[in-house]
Amino acid sequence: MAMSALEWVAEERIARAVAAGELSGLPGEGRPLELDDDRLVPAEQRAAMRVLKNSGHVPEEVRLLNELREAEGKLADAEGEERLDAERRLLALRVRLDAAGLAHGVGAAWRQYEPKIRARLQRHHG
């Protein structure tokens, strides 16, 4: 999957810092990251969210957004009929996200490619 310009800049800066030794000897080096930080979850929702997380459940919108990112990655690497299948999958996910009111949060790439994807699908099935 292609990196955005921001991701590329971040990766480059991290690589330079590693090469210069600027990230050596930091607290916690060599240990896994603690990813259970729930400070951004409202206090009244933390217990419920923890139960859902520990049981393996995720909100529908998170699941859909994860599927969308996966579909975008497959589309970037696909060719031929596989690419057409990936485009169909991506379009179906976009429709579901739009119906759930979440399409605005999926980025400029969709706005750029949606007309092309729709036109291509219409050509093949129109």
Closest CA relative to residue 64, chosen from 118, 102, 38: 102
Please write the tens of the pLDDT for every residue from 68-79. 888 888 888 888
In a domain, 48, yes or no: no
Please write the tens of the pLDDT for every residue from 26-37. 887 888 766 666
Do the Cβ atoms of 79 and 53 come closer than 8 Å? no
In a domain, 116, yes or no: yes
- Number of structural domains found in the chain: 1
Please write the tens of the pLDDT for every residue from 83-97. 888 888 888 888 887
What is the domain extent for residue 68? 59-126
Q: Is the confidence at residue 105, as pLDDT, over 60?
A: no
pLDDT score recorded for residue 53: 77
